[in-house]
Structure 1
């Protein structure tokens, strides 16, 4: 069994947290080795019309500036999937009701675990069109 099916279940939890307005943050972490890309962070951007996220690529080198993109949740899923196992092996969903962790082990098997929430409230970023 590979990780794809478990990731789909995990991503359903991400979408559910968005629809229920519980989504606080998403983080990709745990790499093998020390690739140039250190983390990917996803923060909510709420507007009156739609839900977007600010996706930030964080690099190890201080000389390389972080890259930020405003995306839909579906576009974000594609980015996250493209970085699974290359280089990230862990994705953490932080919501105000629970934290959900998706991990891929050395054999390529995905697992999902939950724990008490890290965040008790959401501090959304403002959409560019609302400033």
Structure 2
């Protein structure tokens, strides 16, 4: 089962946080069962003065890195929703937004007070240009 529509709405919030300079961190967490892949961390990355995303796939024994455009990262990340991750957390300086699947695979998106007071430094440097 693909969660394209609901994750697309969540991803738009992520893109907005990038464009308005409030993005701090994006993390895929809480896996189903014991998996080799433990987390995916997403952070801004500058390549030839273009803002891209570095995807860090943290496995039990190693870490792999991929660079994607902001739009192509969506297609790369979508298959990991529900396989194996049940939650994705967007940290911004204004709020934390959690995309979560329950046991019946019903999606909920909740916000709460921000964890981070400062936005990502790479993003801020890019936006100042």
CA RMSD of aligned residues (A): 2.0
The 1:125/1:69 distance shift into structure 2, 3 A limit, reads farther
Residue 5 (structure 1) shift: 3.2
How far apart in 2 are the matches of 1:8 and 1:71? 17
**Paired position in structure 1 for 2:75:** 78
Q: 1:101 aligns with which of 88, 98, 103?
A: 98
Query: Which runs of no fewer than 5 residues in structure 1 stay unpaired?
Result: 127-131
Aligned pairs for 1:1-131 within 5 A:
3-46=3-46, 49-61=49-61, 65-125=62-122
Q: Who is 1:129 aligned against?
A: none
**Superimposed CA distance per residue, residues 50-95 of structure 1 (whole angstroms, 9 cap, x where no aligned partner):** 321211000123xxx2001121111221122110111001000011
CA distance in 1, matches of 2:66, 2:95: 26
TM-score for the superposition, normalised by structure 1: 0.83
Cα separation, 2, equivalents of 1:48 and 1:66: 24
Encode CA deviations 1:82-109: one digit per residue, 9 max, x unaligned: 1011100100001111110000112121
3-state SS of 1:30 partner: strand
Query: What 5-or-longer segments of structure 2 have no aligned partner?
Result: 124-129
Distance in 2, matches of 1:80 and 1:87, equals: 11
How far off its partner does 1:6 sit?
2.6
Take 1:44 and 1:25, find their aligned partners in 2: how far apart are those partners?
Answer: 9
- Give the count of matched residue pairs: 122
